[in-house]
Every structure is written in structure tokens, then in C-alpha cells.
Amino acid sequence: MSFEIDIDKRLGDAHVSLTLEAGDGATVLFGPSGVGKSSILNMVAGLLRPDRGRIAVDGETLFGDGIDVPPERRRAGYVFQEARLFPHMRVRTNLLYGAGTETEAYEERIGFLGIGHLLDRWPRTLSGGEAQRVAIGRALLSRPRFLLLDEPLSSLDRARREEILRAIEHVRDVLKLPILMVTHDPDEAERIGTRVVRM
């Protein structure tokens, strides 16, 4: 799996630009807040349109040359800073949202994320770390080609951060799912990144 990204976007007074070619593993966009890291993820996901350029995954153009594939067809698993779980659905239903009939994957994801005991809980009763693990599980069960992680550890304490870091490492090393991750934390960038892009 490979990413090709060559995009520009004007956002108010700021200008966001990135040229990147990346293969398997985890590519980490690292830098201070406000430099456009999250905007890059939104452009890859199809939630924000670049002013110009090209985005391709495995040689398939998602944006550019007159093509703009809708977000739901890009097959990106997206995990945001906040878990963004559906508050009116229990954990089990949140996980199964968009999962189809992937029961084998469902059991495996629940196992490595350690969330089997949470299935009947409501999102409002979860800790920050529990909610983020459920969010990662939901993203993985949507059968994505790649995973986008936008500062998934920023609101967690040290113990919860370690849980999520181990889960991300499992996705990178065992599931072999390509990751594009945003962080402003140098330790996270060094630990997770197969390659680190400084912005």
C-alpha cells in the first residue's frame, strides 16, 4: 500500500502544502498546532478539497486530474482527537456501524483492543481511553484500506496513552494497515512513525 500526496490549500491567511510518497507502516505528520496537519488528513479523507494537487492510494487517484472520490468511497478509517462515538448507541452498536457481516474481524478487533467487557455500555460511561479504543475498533471494522489518526492521544493521561499506543502498534505491525497519523508530541512520533514528516 502506498500514499502519494501532493497538495496545496489556502485556509484563511495560512497556506497548507505537502508533498509525500509513503509505503507501508506509519507515516507521522509532526509539528506544532496550527500548521495544517489535521487539514491534510481531512483532504486525504475527502472532507476538505485541496485547491490543487493529487492524492492517490495504491496508484488509485482519489483527488486530481478531474477526479474527486467521495469520502464514503475512499475507504479511510478515521479516528479523531475525540472519540466521536454515537451517544444514542451502546458500544456494540457503535462497533458494528458500517461493519457489515465481518464477524471474524469483529471478534479479533475486540480481542486485541481489550473492549469485550464494554459492549453493553453507553459511550457516556466510558473513560477517555476506553472510548478511543472503541473508536479505533469502529474505524477498523469499516474495512478501511488505510487508517487516519488525528492526535488520538492528546486528551488522555499517561496510562491511557500507553493503551492506545500499544493498539496503534498492533495495527501497524500485526494488521499491517497503513497509517497516516498527526501528532505534536515528539515521543509519539518517534515511537509510532516508520517515517516522520516535520511540518
Does this model's pTM top 0.85? My answer is yes
* Rounded Cα distance, 22 and 5, in Å: 9
**What is the Cα–Cα distance from 36 to 42, expressed in whole angstroms?**
10
Q: How confident is the model at residue 52 (pLDDT cuts 50, 70, 90)?
A: very high
| 29-48 pLDDT, tens digit each | 998 888 889 999 999 999 99
- Output the pLDDT for position 101: 57
Statement: residue 102 has pLDDT above 70? no
**Would you place residue 188 in the very low, low, confident or very high pLDDT band (cuts 50, 70, 90)?**
very high
Mean pLDDT of the chain, nearest integer:
89
Burial class of residue 36 in the structure, from the number of CB atoms within 10 Å of its CB (0-12 exposed, 13-18 middle, 19+ buried): buried
The per-residue pLDDT for 103 is 62
Note the pLDDT of residue 100: 64
Average pLDDT over every residue of 40-62: 94
Q: Which residues contact 154 (CB under 8 A, 6 or more apart)?
A: 81, 183, 184, 185
Asked whether residue 54 carries a pLDDT value surpassing 70, the answer given is yes
In this predicted structure, the answer to whether residue 79 has a pLDDT above a threshold of 90 is yes
Instruction: Find the range with the poorest average confidence among 22-26, 123-127, 179-183.
Output: 22-26
Domains, the chain, ordered by start:
3-198 (3.40.50.300)
Q: What is residue 110's three-state secondary structure?
A: helix
Per-residue pLDDT tens digits for 117-151: 999 999 999 988 899 989 999 998 888 999 999 99
Residue 161, CA distances (Å) to 43, 97, 150 in order: 26, 25, 14
99 has a pLDDT exceeding 80 = no
In 3D space, the residue among 94, 81, 160 whose CA is nearest the CA of residue 121 turns out to be: 94
**Cβ-defined contacts of 157-165 (< 8 Å, 24+):** 157/128, 157/129, 159/129, 160/127, 160/128, 160/129, 160/132, 161/129, 163/114, 163/129, 163/133, 164/129, 164/132, 164/133, 164/136, 165/191, 165/192
